[in-house]
Amino acid sequence: MRPTDTLDPDFYHRVVDCQWACPAHTDVPEYIRMIAQGRYTDAYLLNRASNVFPSILGRVCDRPCEPACRRRRVEDKPVAICRLKRVTADLSDDVRPLLPPIPLEKNGKRIACIGAGCASLTVANDLLPLGYEVVVYEQLDRTGGLMRTNIPAFRLPQTVLDNELNTIIDMGVDLRLDQRVDSLATLLEESYDAVFIGTGAPRGKNLEIPGRYESDRIHIGIDWLESVAFEHTKKIGEQVLIIGVGNTAMDCCRTSLRLGGKQVKVMARKPRGYFKASEWELDDAEEEQVEIVVNHSPREFVINDGQLVGMQFDVFEYHVDDEGKLQQELIGEEFFPCDDVILAIGQETAFPWIERDIGLDFDQWDQPVVDRTTYQSTRAGVFFGGDAAFGPENIIWAVEHGHQAAISIHKHCLNEAIDDRLPFGMNLVSTKMSIHEWSFSNDYEGANRRQMRHVDLKERFNQLNIEVELGFSAEQTTIEVERCLNCDIQTVFTTDLCIECDACIDVCPVRCLTITENTDEPTLRAALTVPAQNPDQPLYVSATLPQTGRVMVKDENICVHCSLCAERCPTGAWDMRKSTLLIPYAADEETATWQHKTA
Amino acid sequence: MSFIKKPRINHPGLDTNAVGLTIQDYEGAMSTLCAGCGHDSVSSAIVQAYYELAIEPHRVAKLSGIGCSSKTPTYFLRPAHGFNSVHGRMPSIATGASAANRDLHYIGISGDGDSLSIGLGQFCHAIRRNVDMFYVIENNGVYGLTKGQFSASADVGSPARKGGGTNEIPPIDPVLTAINFGCSFVARGFSGDKTTLVPLIKAAILHRGFALLDVISPCVTFNDHEGSTKSYLHTREFEQTAVYADFVPIRDEITASVDTHVTPVTLHDGSQIHLRTVDPDYDPFDRDSVVAYLREHQNKGQIVTGLLFVDETAPDMLTLSSTTQTPLVDLSFDTLNPGAAALKTLQKQWR
């Protein structure tokens, strides 16, 4: 293999599994260390730089970081990254005075954002400090979009939502509530320099089976949640069936329990393991005694005298065939009585308000054609982000879309090529303080993941908006931060200094180092001290070693960054250096342009 | 020395051996030796060898004297028995222990100071008696624990790291010494080359009788400088492998090798060690020719490594003295102490 190019920011970035997996590339290990040091406000600000809504995401993020966490490969459970994010929000001081100042003198560019959800507000957050005027149109009388209407208050309190959204609104957003945009063509006639569309995926999918329109007790999940959020719906029948087993279904069943539902069943078409809901959302629902019924596919709504009395289901059995595909076999039918049915089988975008003759192309599925890098549509100056761009994803994706769209909008307004973007950068600084002393806690904490504390099962149903999760206690936080393996403190190898004494190889607790003859990757992977069996994790291969001409190989897979290799190295060939990923935002593009002009 | 303990983490890819243990079960405490010390590599090779042989750690007794090398039994085989003796007196302890319990595996860890200076007499007599043990000399040419004075194995002309002194006293070569005293298994390895060190250790462990392994184990603090003949760089440059040893455990099928230079040696448990001589004229069973070969290369400044001499037919101490096959601990008190009458009968034999 060729020597690894560690100057490519991607190499060390990949080692930081959580940051690599996060769409917004949040610097997780660094904010966890800040929490450990009691620097809650700094930790919040570091979060905010990449994910903008730490307080919201600390509660309801889909956490792509946690399945990726290295701790999961060392033991079973990942670091509670999301919970720790909430800790930063819970304990942070007011950060408003610490945010970039908004220039009094504007740059003369006006941007329209449609929808006041997380994508649009991220665009506003990135562009307002550069002197832009940002107008946000919202069809409802309040901000937040689906975060407000579809996530129940017992998971995400209104005050938390308001606090973070208003931080951005108060930067000087020209907010136009209750102003629905009915025609993009009309809006484009106004003097906006760019338009950003962040209207989400507001249409819940329907289930067209017999009896669908014969009762008013059959609800579309996201519409029903919105109606609950706006206090139009205040109760539900005792027996409720939820169709679908995604995260919206979990919100629907738990909300039902708080509005009078006694027997709430979630009806799943497939077996466990094929559910769309996140593991922890399933856990939380089952803790509240929601029953999840598997292998039942809806057949018809049963109506008696104009009244919904229940639903008939096909019952299936599943097995995995030789090709690994799931095969179903019909084995019978079953009737479930109910008073209400909530359909939570997905949602989609809706653009009846965008004219199809304005140079903005839609694809065969009637989705706008949007560039994956620039987020620009086929009409220059019109950008998409959030669920509106590529269909339903998660808040953290919408935030990243917003950051990238903001860069594009900025470059568009400067008449620069929007696909000529700044690359990621990297800083690499030694953490050595003295002999065997590092500026991070390198000892391995063997404790298991801390459990989130919940409000008592009876008490939580007293009111609709009692937040169930209590957050981490100080004791829980103290232990959980130490579980982080500091994957951003990289083991950096200097080939010329190595005397091949094997000290690092001998001391490594996970045996991830080997000095061997260089060869091709599959042979090398098999020849290591412990064979490198995880192809998703890269090998580090040094240049040719000075004494024997062999190479140092490191399997990055389960290195716990304990620094013992560096401590046992007599020549300092190994060093523990903190890699910091430098992520370009709109403000960095502004600086780069300015530097280019003055150079 | 590090302030943190080596964390015990179960690597998902970590195998177990024939007795169901992982290699971690053969490790010891964190080393307090200097970073980069050759001795730590020897400890690591010992861990690997016992693990691969699937010898349960508690069936091993670790014995040592005084010195950097003699500290190392703490750093491997945590569950094994251990005895840290007076300086240079480890061979006596090993001799006694072996007499008392022949069922344990004995590993003696010593250094060039412990074996070639203060303990030379003990070392020679243990070889003469052919005590059934594996004896390691971690040889670095200096007294590391007392800050780097020349030891009895320092070569003539070796410069001191500081102060400009040069060694003028001729060295004692443990390998030649052992062969001259009739040692039945003599090998030399290098701590920086585990691929050859580990098979040597495995063969030495299973050899019945005194198995000497001299390991060039650089002192990274006091004897790894330019001019040193026991540094990593010098050893790599002047290492001359006479015999490659491939260890073949008893469980593995022994297949005929096409290489004409391969000589199989059956160890007492039935395992084999395949010796591949690099020089076709080298005969690891002929004591005189081995000595001549070693002298010739020594004069050229070369460090000959490998399994240099082996004699699986020599009777060990317990065989020579016809002692009981049962460890003393397993004998009943009556057998162990037959009483005054039996003593009298015994004494009468010599009157």
| Phi, psi torsion values for A26, nearest 5 degrees | -60, 135
Give the CA diameter of chain A. 90
Instruction: Name the H helices within A171-246.
Output: 184-189, 221-229
CB B221 within 8 A of CB B34: yes
A99-202+349-413 and A204-345: same fold?
Answer: yes
Contact check, Cβ <8 Å, A570/B8: no
CB A171 within 8 A of CB A129: yes
Residue B51: CB atoms within 10 A of its CB come to 23
Contact check, Cβ <8 Å, A564/B2: yes
CB B102 within 8 A of CB B142: no
Interface of B with A (CB under 8 A): 1-9, 11-14, 23, 30-31, 34-38, 40-41, 43-44, 191-192, 194, 218, 220-221, 224, 232-233, 236
Of A499, A533, A560, the CB nearest to B9: A560
Give the CA diameter of chain B. 69
A437 touches chain B (CB under 8 A): yes
Q: Is residue B257 scored above 70 in pLDDT?
A: no
* pLDDT tens for the 599 residues of chain A, in order: 999 999 999 999 999 999 999 999 999 999 999 999 999 999 999 999 999 999 999 999 999 999 999 999 988 899 999 999 999 999 999 999 999 999 999 999 999 999 999 999 999 999 999 999 999 999 999 999 999 999 999 999 999 999 999 999 999 999 999 999 999 999 999 999 999 999 999 999 999 999 999 999 999 999 999 999 999 999 999 999 999 999 999 999 999 999 999 999 999 999 998 999 998 999 999 999 999 999 999 999 999 998 999 999 999 999 888 888 888 899 999 999 999 999 999 999 999 999 999 999 999 999 999 999 999 999 999 999 999 999 999 999 999 999 999 999 999 999 999 999 999 999 999 999 988 899 999 999 989 999 999 999 889 988 888 999 999 999 999 999 999 999 999 999 999 999 999 999 999 999 999 999 999 999 999 999 888 989 999 999 999 999 999 999 999 998 999 999 999 999 999 999 999 999 999 999 988 888 877 77
Q: CA B153 to CA A187: how far, in whole Å?
A: 91
* Closest chain B CA to residue A499: B232
A448 touches chain B (CB under 8 A): no
A533 touches chain B (CB under 8 A): yes
Of B3, B7, B233, the CB nearest to A509: B7
Q: Which amino acid is at B173?
A: D
Q: Strand pairing of A425-430 and A574-582?
A: antiparallel
pLDDT digits (tens, 9 = 90+) for A460-507: 988 888 999 999 999 999 999 999 999 999 999 999 999 999 999 999
Q: Pseudo-torsion of CA A38, A40, A43, A45, nearest 10°?
A: -150
CATH number of B23-329: 3.40.50.970
**Residue B282 has what pLDDT?**
85
**Residue B14 has what pLDDT?**
80
**Residue B261 has what pLDDT?**
65
Instruction: Fold for A489-582, please state it.
Output: Alpha-Beta Plaits (3.30.70)
Name residue, tokens 């104009």. A306
Over chain B, what is the mean pLDDT?
Answer: 91
The CATH H-level (homologous superfamily) assignment of domain A99-202+349-413 is FAD/NAD(P)-binding domain (3.50.50.60)
Strands (E), A52-169: 110-114, 133-137
Q: CA A163 to CA A167: how far, in whole Å?
A: 6
* Closest chain B CA to residue A446: B7
For residue B255, name the pLDDT band (cuts at 50, 70, 90). Answer: low
Q: Is residue B204 scored above 50 in pLDDT?
A: yes
pLDDT digits (tens, 9 = 90+) for B122-154: 999 999 999 999 999 999 999 999 998 999 999
Over chain A, what is the mean pLDDT?
Answer: 94
Domain residue extents for chain A: 9-97+445-483, 99-202+349-413, 204-345, 489-582
Q: Is residue B258 scored above 50 in pLDDT?
A: no
> Which of A52, A43, A41, A197 minimizes the C-alpha distance to A129?
A52
Domain A9-97+445-483 class? mainly alpha
What's the average model confidence in pLDDT over B98-116? 96
Q: What is the pTM of this model?
A: 0.90
Residue B334 in tokens: 């009556």
The residues, any chain, with a CB within 8 Å of residue B338's CB and separated by 6 or more, are none
Domain residue extents for chain B: 23-329
User: In chain A, what residues touch B41 (CB-CB under 8 Å)?
Assistant: 501-503, 506
Question: Mind telling me how many Å the CA of B9 is from chain A's nearest CA?
Answer: 6
CB B107 within 8 A of CB B205: yes
Q: Which amino acid is at A51?
A: N
Helix or strand holding residue B194 (H, E): helix B194-206
**Residue A224 has what pLDDT?**
96
So what's the ipTM on this one?
Answer: 0.88
User: In chain B, what residues touch A442 (CB-CB under 8 Å)?
Assistant: 4
User: In chain B, what residues touch A444 (CB-CB under 8 Å)?
Assistant: 4, 7, 9
For residue B266, name the pLDDT band (cuts at 50, 70, 90). Answer: confident
Q: Strand pairing of A539-541 and A551-555?
A: antiparallel
> Which of A244, A200, A250, A205 minimizes the C-alpha distance to A392?
A200
The CATH H-level (homologous superfamily) assignment of domain A204-345 is FAD/NAD(P)-binding domain (3.50.50.60)
Contact check, Cβ <8 Å, B4/A547: no
Distances (CA, A) of A439 to A79, A578, B167: 21, 10, 44
Q: Is residue B264 scored above 90 in pLDDT?
A: no
CB A340 within 8 A of CB A308: yes
User: In chain B, what residues touch A502 (CB-CB under 8 Å)?
Assistant: 40-41, 44, 191-192, 194
pLDDT digits (tens, 9 = 90+) for B180-195: 999 999 999 999 999 8
Of A500, A507, A548, the CB nearest to B6: A507
pLDDT digits (tens, 9 = 90+) for A17-40: 999 999 999 999 999 999 999 999
